[in-house]
A and B are shown apart, each in its own frame.
Chain A
Amino acid sequence: MTDKKINSLQDIEQLREQLLSGHKDSKARVLICMTGCRALGAGSVAAKFRENLKSLSLETQVAVVETGCIGICAAAPVVLIEPYEYLYGGVKPEDVEEIIAETIEKGQPVERLAVTQNGEVSAKLGEIGFYKKQKKLVLENCGRIDPKRIEDAIERGGYIAAIKAVTEKSEQQIIDEMIESGLRGRGGAGFPAGVKWNLCRKSDGDEKYIICNADEGDPGAFMDRALLEGDPHRVIEGMLVAAYAIGAKLGFIYVRAEYPIAVEHINIALDQARGLGLLGEKIAGLDFSFDIEVRMGAGAFVCGEETALIGSLEGRRGMPNSRPPFPAQKGYMGKPTNINNVETFANVPIIMKNGPKSYSAVGTEKSKGTKIFALAGKVKNTGLVEVPMGTTLREIVYDIGGGMDKGRKFKAAQLGGPSGGCIPAKYLDNEIDYDSVQQLGAIMGSGGLIVMDELTCMVDIARYFLEFVQAESCGKCTPCRAGTKKMLEILQSICRGAARLSDLDLLEHLAGHIKKASLCGLGQTAPNPVLSTLSSFKEEYVQHIAEKKCAAGVCKDLLSYEIIEACTGCQACMRVCPVEAITGEKKQQHSIDKDKCIKCGQCFDVCKFQAVTR
């Protein structure tokens, strides 16, 4: 860590030159994801690398870098070797010797560790389908730097765009560029970020604040976590620009306590930025002071809503307030406050660096730039992906995601979490941006994208999300508190086979009123998962109610397991049945005692002859 303070734009540019020139005798770099992959043994792989490199006296020439998310989570733990760009998945400590011998010493790939996608095997990162259609702008450093080292970030240009902007541009110039860039809020609603900044800048107030909303709460979403873990400096850099443009002296990062690595990395990054004079008094020698405090949220989903988040920051119970007044007018402690999501701030350095025109060249007419998705569900390559706005769902699911897992059929993609909806297969070729997604009954949301196959029950999915919002409703306004509970009750009764067809009308009626009457975004969007599945998959609801049948085999109460003639009497099902409900002689058709059966479905999964029905 350098101890020299940055006192000017020149200083930081010089520092970067100096850092870059320090790698002359570098032979290779071993990048190991130490965030998400940590849970799958990345730590021992890294240790093994260090050990072996040391014993080969290569440790000064080959750096082992603990990075953030490299992207392809399905292949964890993931190792990337620079400069060869060989990407290895499922790496174990015993593979390390071979990787050093082949790749580091000879520059050759270890084919057996390469990632397979759509039948193609390639060790080169750039040749893997998962990466080919991605455009990594915001994630350019994520997985490439050690997030705990500010030098790594600066080497790759970090902070330079911000320092250049605050040195050379006026506040209004920055806001104008932000507006021109067309960047829309990545938290989900897609409000133009520059316009939001401008509102806050123009509000009267002796003190102003900026807040980074890192209270990522959608089930299945982990974009913000990955950014904070993998490249916290980019977020700080974005906040720095925002603070300058708005006139804030203090900022907050409100991050959930369930993200310990993100919290750790952000705190380290803040300390290092302060150490270099990139935060604090007279930043880069300018008459501009700004600092950031980290506040941990206690895991309430509703605290992702701006006004609830501010309440929580102020030490109150996190509950949303009526708007207007908007936070830009009266926010934290009653002062004008600008809140943006992590990914929004992370986009700012790109705009500052390349200019608004270059930025807005990417994307669609009304949605500019790229979007990061957390790709999850029944798709082969789950992981973190960044694509230009306007990429089709098919490209994401098939080209990047490698298609459906186990060769099953694509049924729908859930976008936008509990506020979003399910997009059915017929829209696979629609371009994804803020407006198109809304037309399809979902929302862009923060970027959670869950892929579903034919074994997903859409009624159950709606029930799941309702259960989520009902548990996370703050309880302040009637429609959200009581309305979602009533809707959930109806959905539960459908899943139990106890509902009437008229309940579907009641669901729609309630959903409409809850959307219109709720106080905040949580309630206003809470019925979306129900409404979107009702519109695309109504036949499933009807089937549950009228035929008391769940075709996907998920709603237990509607299932009745039977063994049909196709049974060969292999006894596989008998062996897995945890309650000994299956009986039968070898090579004879088995049968299931329905009184004992707990409908766990293990017999169904294990049967190779489709002899178990439900």
Chain B
Amino acid sequence: MSETINITVNGKEIAAKQGQTILEAVRGKGINIPHLCSDRRLKPVGACRMCLVEVEGQKGPVTACTFEIKPGMIVETETDEIRAIRKTILELLFYEHGAVCSTCDDMGECKLQRYGYEYKIADEVIKSSETMEAIRNHTTGNKALEYNPNKCIRCGRCIRICEEVQGVSALTFKGRASSVLVSTAFDIALNDSTCELCGQCISTCPTGALYERRAKGRGQCKDLVRTRTTCTYCGVGCQIDLNVNPRTGCIIRVTSEKGYVPNDGNLCVKGRFGFDFVHSPERLTKPLIRENGQFREATWDEAITLTGKRLSEIRSKHGPDSIAFLSSCRCTNEENYLMQKTARTAGGTNNIDQCATTCHAPTVAGLASAFGSGAMTNSINEIQNVQTLFIIGSNPTEAHPIIGLEMKKALAKGAKLVVCDPRKTWIAKRADVHIQHKPGTDNMLINSMMNYIIEKKLYNQEFVTQRCENFEAFIANLRDYTIEQAADVCRVDADLIRQAAQMYAGGTPSSIFYTLGITEHTCGTENVQNLANLAMLCGQIGKASSGVNPLRGQNNVQGGCDMGAIYSVLPGYQKVADAGVREKFSKAWGIKFPTNTGGRVTDFIEKAGEGVLRGFYCFGEDPVLSEPNQANVIKNLKKLEFIVCQEIFMSETAKLADVVLPATSWAEKDGTFTNTERRVQRIRKAVEAPGEARPDWEIICMVSTAMGYPMSYNSPSEIFDEMASLTPSYGGMSFDRIDEVGLQWPCPTAEHQGTLFLHKDKFVRGLGLFHVIKFREPAEMPDDEYPFILSTGRTLYNYNIGNMTQKSDAIRQKQSKNFVEMHYCDAQRLGVTCGETITVSTRRGKVTAAAAVGQRVQPGALWMPFHFVDQPTNKLTNDAFDNITRTGEYKVCAAAVSKDAGTGTK
């Protein structure tokens, strides 16, 4: 820790940390030094000159934002001279400022306006400014944001945040002197530049020069009401403020306040521009009942009564395996808790699941078997202190952009980076070692790395002996996996594997990060267990900034699992198999505990096809688009006797339903989400739900009651308290405690401060368990007929099935169509040009999409996102499943490409 030193500011003694600047030293101490070009997230530059102060012994005034404090320094911030200079600077800024406050969206928020008022800038000075002619600039026509040079004070914050925080460097200054303006390099359109539309430039702009295009003219900042909530997209759990115009009841823009975990005011494109879906005219506003093949509008009473009746009938006639409940990780902990409770009480079945099966179920299973707990071991803000980042099967800068920023911070501090990814992603390009292995060969790679680590004695013997078990069997298995063999099977340079092994084993500390590139395989759980092996072998777990970190993909997929919306566990991963647990819940809920084993969503689809499953309550999920082999999913779901969908849009699955219940989006209700670092955070109602749509927790209560198990709560807080009373890891939490900053589980008591990282001193299961993992090939490998390996994944701009992100003009303008990444050698061979529409086919279906030709994938590989309803990639994917969690193998299937729609070509 840096030393504390004292300085005197305006006659007052202040304690501050050595190395701080004057501006940092006085922050929060009642001394306000005006500044325009400074943002805590950025390196200070001293450009605006508003923070000039006098320091005893200095020739002239110095900028507080750049001047480092020294013990005993005497600073004056408000002398007449200093105030006069600041006033001149403001007058000059207004002299350049070609806009008036009264018509500016940023009114109330703008710092120039605030200082102008404070320093009493004369009206005639403000009026003297000339308005620049409306000139085309790099944002002309851009639907995400607008740059207005008339309001720009050239502080360069937008340029610096783009470079320093995002690492994107899309923006730059152009011109000189008074004609300096912000633009892109060579003045190209923003969307043609490297811009990722994160809108961080807007977040840091001290005036209204940069503003959301969509928000313009829809309410001035001074009139907007802010509601703090948690972002509804990925699992990072960014804290955001929904800015609502109280007169229209609409969300106008999304902002984020600096100084809060996990995102410190930073947001990505989805968080900032992806909220238009809330007010979409396509929202469901009335319950719908299918009659004679058509939907008709119905009353809530009708719809709920019908749903309760049909599900109860099927259950009583055909037993617990005839109905299934699919919960939603898009929704709150409270709702997930209620959904699994309803399944097990009103439904009398363990057929409860959520979308983790589609993504991170292997994580929950794999890490639980190795460590005793299936969650990210460390915290997000520990990432910046990792010394070797080991990223495998993960594309954080696109799928978890704010975690990507933390990784960029670590890199800026000099961290080493190993990326194992078949694709050359943004972060892979910046890696010290990029292992571009063949999809589906992760265990070959990891086993050979571990073999090498043992051979070179790079492992942590003390950790292995003291904290783990089954080491002998584990190393015996590794002998079969040599680096040379792995190089051959994975098709990578053997030396790269050696370097990666050395970097990971030698990092002080190292940390593993992975996502679906690891889990979405038929060996997904084994992949996860093997990463656990690697961490235990090197002792890189159980300490700050070091562990095994699955980055969860959905806003509340951690919570959905935590809440026990899994057939085999109850809230807090209390095992159904445990008689004591069953008794505890039976007693608490006043029921006889269901006796069936239950299954996962992939089982539900299979059982529906077999005629075993007959009734299906689908809540906030769209398996038709998200599960592999779409044709088969539709065929099987159509066999069901009754489907009820609880949705905000008419999803592809809802189109097959008998009853559709209109629900609320995250902006219209209260509750909690648990983010990927196990942090339980609040969401809050900011706007009214459209039409008759109701909060999900209320709907679930109504269905449960209609099924014969009365359920009623006054608020989500009440539901949370019930859940917490039954869930040890959440036991110490309440809405009050997490009001401002969320808590990370385990948090067993009301005094407990939450847990930053897991497995300190001891694993949750006691000793860490080494698993013996053998390499197995994916279920479907390329052959003459289908010569390519197709993988699927997410892009930065879109999210899952795209029904939310594609409602945003800004995002649609950037990316609205499916595409296929292919290597230019393959493209050349097949005569495919970049942008040309091609057909990708597998044994299960065909999809046409634009060819994205380049070097992101290796020859012989294809990659497609799955966000586009009109070109659903999951028509192609293989419904082969992980042997333990039944997660689909989205990352590997055999595919063919043809230029003309129809026949496959090699």
B187 nearest CB across to chain A (Å): 14
List of A residues within 8 angstroms of B50 by Cβ: 478
Stretch at the interface among A60-68, A72-80, A422-430, A480-488: A480-488
Complex: chain B residue closest to A516, CB-CB: B60
**Cα distance A173–B346 when bound, in Å?**
92
A424 nearest CB across to chain B (Å): 27
Complex: chain B residue closest to A524, CB-CB: B60
Chain B residues 45-80 with CB under 8 Å of chain A are 45-50, 52, 60-61, 63, 66, 68
**Cα distance A341–B52 when bound, in Å?**
30
- Whether B85 pairs with A513 at a CB distance below 8 angstroms is yes
**Cα distance A500–B45 when bound, in Å?**
37
Selected from A470, A473, A477, A484, the residue in CB contact (under 8 A) with B49 is A477
A322 touches B (CB below 8 Å): yes
List of B residues within 8 angstroms of A482 by Cβ: 92-93, 95-96, 178
- Whether B88 pairs with A475 at a CB distance below 8 angstroms is no
**Cα distance A319–B46 when bound, in Å?**
12
- Whether A478 pairs with B93 at a CB distance below 8 angstroms is yes
A 473-499 to B, binary, CB cutoff 8 A, 1 in contact else 0: 111111101111110000000000000
A415 touches B (CB below 8 Å): no
A473-B176, A478-B49 given as contacts; is B63 within 8 A of A510 (CB)? no
B84 touches A (CB below 8 Å): yes
- Whether B49 pairs with A519 at a CB distance below 8 angstroms is yes
What's the A-B contact tally at a CB cutoff of 8 Å?
Answer: 93
A509 touches B (CB below 8 Å): yes
Chain A residues 319-346 with CB under 8 Å of chain B are 319, 321-322, 324
A271 touches B (CB below 8 Å): no
Chain A residues 16-30 with CB under 8 Å of chain B are none
List of A residues within 8 angstroms of B98 by Cβ: none
Selected from B52, B68, B89, B154, the residue in CB contact (under 8 A) with A476 is B154
A472 touches B (CB below 8 Å): yes
A518 touches B (CB below 8 Å): yes
List of A residues within 8 angstroms of B96 by Cβ: 481-482, 485
Chain B residues 10-58 with CB under 8 Å of chain A are 44-50, 52
- Whether A471 pairs with B66 at a CB distance below 8 angstroms is no
Chain B residues 104-157 with CB under 8 Å of chain A are 153-154, 156
- Whether A317 pairs with B84 at a CB distance below 8 angstroms is no
- Whether A481 pairs with B178 at a CB distance below 8 angstroms is yes
Complex: chain A residue closest to B178, CB-CB: A485
Chain A residues 497-511 with CB under 8 Å of chain B are 509-510
Tally B residues with Cβ within 8 Å of A.
32
List of A residues within 8 angstroms of B179 by Cβ: 475
**Cα distance A364–B46 when bound, in Å?**
38
Selected from A472, A479, A509, the residue in CB contact (under 8 A) with B89 is A479
- Whether A472 pairs with B176 at a CB distance below 8 angstroms is yes
A470-B178, A479-B89, A513-B84 given as contacts; is B45 within 8 A of A322 (CB)? yes
Complex: chain A residue closest to B66, CB-CB: A322
- Whether A509 pairs with B49 at a CB distance below 8 angstroms is no
Complex: chain B residue closest to A520, CB-CB: B46
- Whether B49 pairs with A517 at a CB distance below 8 angstroms is yes
**Cα distance A310–B463 when bound, in Å?**
49
- Whether B177 pairs with A479 at a CB distance below 8 angstroms is no
A34 touches B (CB below 8 Å): no
List of A residues within 8 angstroms of B217 by Cβ: none
- Whether B176 pairs with A300 at a CB distance below 8 angstroms is yes
B586 touches A (CB below 8 Å): no
List of B residues within 8 angstroms of A513 by Cβ: 84-85, 88-89
B175 touches A (CB below 8 Å): yes
B47, B95, B180 interface centre (most CB from chain A within 10 Å):
B47
B632 touches A (CB below 8 Å): no
- Whether A475 pairs with B95 at a CB distance below 8 angstroms is no
- Whether A516 pairs with B46 at a CB distance below 8 angstroms is no
B 79-105 to A, binary, CB cutoff 8 A, 1 in contact else 0: 000001100110011011000000000
A553 nearest CB across to chain B (Å): 30
B152 nearest CB across to chain A (Å): 11
List of A residues within 8 angstroms of B46 by Cβ: 322, 477, 519
A470-B178, A471-B176, A473-B176 given as contacts; is B45 within 8 A of A321 (CB)? yes
- Whether B178 pairs with A519 at a CB distance below 8 angstroms is no
Selected from A317, A471, A478, A509, the residue in CB contact (under 8 A) with B48 is A478
List of B residues within 8 angstroms of A479 by Cβ: 49, 88-89, 92
Selected from B61, B88, B154, B172, the residue in CB contact (under 8 A) with A481 is B154
A510-B88, A517-B85 given as contacts; is B178 within 8 A of A476 (CB)? no
B173 touches A (CB below 8 Å): yes
- Whether B47 pairs with A519 at a CB distance below 8 angstroms is yes
Complex: chain A residue closest to B84, CB-CB: A513
- Whether A470 pairs with B177 at a CB distance below 8 angstroms is yes
B64 nearest CB across to chain A (Å): 11
B49, B84, B179 interface centre (most CB from chain A within 10 Å):
B49
**Cα distance A60–B210 when bound, in Å?**
73
- Whether A474 pairs with B92 at a CB distance below 8 angstroms is no
List of B residues within 8 angstroms of A486 by Cβ: 92, 95
- Whether B61 pairs with A476 at a CB distance below 8 angstroms is no
List of A residues within 8 angstroms of B177 by Cβ: 470-475, 481, 484-485
List of A residues within 8 angstroms of B47 by Cβ: 476-478, 519
- Whether B85 pairs with A476 at a CB distance below 8 angstroms is no
List of A residues within 8 angstroms of B180 by Cβ: 474-476, 481
**Cα distance A324–B55 when bound, in Å?**
14
List of B residues within 8 angstroms of A509 by Cβ: 88
A321, A485, A516, A519 interface centre (most CB from chain B within 10 Å):
A516
Chain B residues 159-214 with CB under 8 Å of chain A are 172-173, 175-180
A322-B63, A482-B93, A482-B95 given as contacts; is B156 within 8 A of A476 (CB)? yes
Known contacts A475-B179, A485-B177, A517-B88; 14 further A-B pairs (Cβ under 8 A): A300-B176, A470-B177, A470-B178, A473-B178, A476-B45, A477-B47, A478-B47, A478-B89, A478-B153, A483-B88, A486-B92, A510-B88, A513-B89, A517-B49
User: Can you identify 26 A-B contacts, CB atoms within 8 angstroms?
Assistant: A300-B176, A317-B172, A322-B46, A470-B177, A471-B176, A471-B177, A475-B154, A475-B179, A476-B154, A478-B47, A478-B48, A478-B89, A478-B92, A478-B153, A479-B49, A479-B89, A483-B92, A484-B177, A486-B95, A509-B88, A513-B84, A513-B85, A516-B85, A517-B49, A517-B61, A517-B88
The 5 closest A-B pairs by CB, nearest first: A475-B180, A482-B92, A322-B46, A473-B177, A322-B66
